[in-house]
Structures are given as structure tokens and as C-alpha cells.
């Protein structure tokens, strides 16, 4: 094993699990490829970077993706407080 491969193997979690939300999506969309949950590791609902935190395009606050919505009129991702 090369040094790079060994380093990569050490940096991976010993018990990789999919993102909870990716798995939920994949149950209805079989073409959806779940990502590895890398955030909130102590939780039963690990999350990938995609489902971790999103920044509001108006106020700049980071928050959970479920508190954000896409405004097609402005093309911006907004938080519920801004909306």
C-alpha cells in the first residue's frame, strides 16, 4: 500500500455510515447515490456536507438545510426568518 493510500485509509471513519437524509431520499429515488455521513457523528442522523449547513443568501446565517428554501424568483437560498 502506498503512503497516500495508507494515509487516506487512516483518515476514513472506522465505521462509515451514510447520511441519514441521503438514505431517506434514496428509498424513493433509486438513482440517488447516498453520501457518507461526516457531520453530527454522535447522532443517529449523521449528515453529509450537502445536508449539514447552508448559508442564507440574504442574512448570511448558517443553518440546517430544512430551515432553508430556494426562491426561484430571485435565485437565492433563504432562511425562514428572511422569507
Average pLDDT over residues 47-76: 91
- Residue 76's closest CA among 58, 61, 51? 58
Average pLDDT over residues 45-55: 90
- Residue 44 pLDDT: 86
Task: Examine the domain organization and report whether 36 and 65 are in the same domain.
Answer: no
Number of domains in the chain: 2
Task: Examine the domain organization and report whether 7 and 23 are in the same domain.
Answer: yes
Selected residue with higher pLDDT from 24 and 10: 24
- Residue 15 pLDDT: 60
- Residue 56 pLDDT: 94
User: Taking 90 as the threshold, does the pLDDT of residue 64 lie above it?
Assistant: no
Tally Cβ neighbours within 10 Å of residue 73. 5
Domain range for 78: 53-83
Task: Examine the domain organization and report whether 36 and 62 are in the same domain.
Answer: no
Task: Examine the domain organization and report whether 33 and 69 are in the same domain.
Answer: no
Task: Examine the domain organization and report whether 45 and 60 are in the same domain.
Answer: no
Task: Examine the domain organization and report whether 36 and 48 are in the same domain.
Answer: yes
Task: Examine the domain organization and report whether 66 and 31 are in the same domain.
Answer: no
- Residue 20's closest CA among 50, 48, 55? 48
Amino acid at each position: 500500500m502506498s503512503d497516500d493510500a495508507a494515509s487516506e485509509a487512516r483518515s476514513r471513519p472506522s465505521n462509515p455510515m451514510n447520511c441519514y437524509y441521503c438514505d431517506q431520499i434514496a428509498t424513493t429515488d433509486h438513482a440517488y447515490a447516498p453520501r457518507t455521513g461526516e457531520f453530527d457523528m454522535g447522532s443517529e442522523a449523521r449528515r453529509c456536507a450537502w445536508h449539514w449547513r447552508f448559508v442564507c443568501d440574504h442574512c448570511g446565517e448558517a443553518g440546517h438545510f430544512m430551515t432553508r428554501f430556494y426562491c426561484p424568483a430571485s435565485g437565492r437560498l433563504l432562511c425562514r426568518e428572511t422569507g
